[in-house]
Amino acid sequence: MKSMDEWLRSEETGEPFSHCVHCHLPLLEIDEPWLVNKEFRRDECVLEYAICVPCRNDLTGRLSEGSKGSVREFLRNEIDWETRIKDFMMMADPVERFASCVICQTGQEACEVFGISALHDSGGELTLGPLPLMICGGCIAKITERLSPESREVWRKFLDDHFSGPSDETIPGTGFSGLF
Ligand SMILES: [Zn+2]
Ligand SMILES: [Zn+2]
């Protein structure tokens, strides 16, 4: 089984993420928490980035209130947070959180596509709260359905600005599992 460090490091460099994908500042120097989001298709990582919380807030601030409200309502209604948090606390190693979808509980081995998301504090320590978590492709697609076309366009532009050619419509949602 992969360790948490292995899950969260950059597949491209083999090292922990060092810079925010959006503002390009060094994560350990900015005194802000940051997220690592990765999306996998089976064993292959198809998208990965770290984003500082101010940039994440800037990005989600450009999504419509209706879209954000709809996604948050979905996450509130579909995730049994009380049970999930209890499960999380029982785990000997937080990496076990990546073994199944936080929403539908599907095991990772059964997921064609899945995303993982983790929050680090400003010093680089992993924060254990609702994150880290894993969401399967099917559930990411359900979240995407709740975004307005304008909000999807905000997301697509973010991908176009920062990644070369990942705007693959066949990858559901692509990489925003931890943005809400
Ligand atoms: Zn940033
Ligand atoms: Zn799911």
Q: pLDDT tens-digit profile of 78-89?
A: 999 899 999 999
Whether the per-residue pLDDT at 178 is higher than 80: the answer is no
Whether the per-residue pLDDT at 174 is higher than 60: the answer is no
Token pair 């995730």 is at which residue?
Answer: 79
> Which ligand places an atom closest to the C-alpha of 177?
2
Distance 27 CA to ligand 2 centre (A): 30
Q: How confident is the model at residue 170 (pLDDT cuts 50, 70, 90)?
A: very low
> Which ligand places an atom closest to the C-alpha of 115?
2
pLDDT tens per residue across span 87-140? 999 999 999 999 999 999 999 999 999 999 999 999 999 999 989 999 999 998
For residue 124, which of 46, 40, 24, 29 has the smallest C-alpha distance?
29
**Lowest pLDDT segment from 9-23, 96-110, 152-166:** 152-166
Full 3-state SS string of the chain: CCCHHHHHCCCCCCCCCCECCCCCCEHHHCCCCEEEEEEEECCEEEEEEEEEHHHHHHHHHCCCHHHHHHHHHHHHHHCCHHHHHHHHHHCCCHHHHHHECCCCCCEHHHCCEEEEEEEECCCCCEECCCCCEEEEHHHHHHHHHCCCHHHHHHHHHHHHHHCCCCCCCCCCCCCCCCCC
Q: How confident is the model at residue 159 (pLDDT cuts 50, 70, 90)?
A: confident
Distance 25 CA to ligand 1 centre (A): 6
Q: What is the mean pLDDT of the chain?
A: 89
For residue 130, which of 97, 155, 99 has the smallest C-alpha distance?
97
> Which ligand places an atom closest to the C-alpha of 101?
2
Distance 37 CA to ligand 2 centre (A): 16
What is the value of pTM for the model shown? Answer: 0.91
Q: What percent of the chain has pLDDT over 90?
A: 64
Dist. CA 59–CA 55, nearest whole Å: 6
For the stretch 78-90, what's the b/e string if a residue is b when 16 or more beta carbons lie within 10 angstroms of its beta carbon?
ebeeeebeeebee
Distance 121 CA to ligand 2 centre (A): 26
> Which ligand places an atom closest to the C-alpha of 141?
2
Distance 109 CA to ligand 2 centre (A): 12
**Residue 19: per-residue pLDDT:** 97
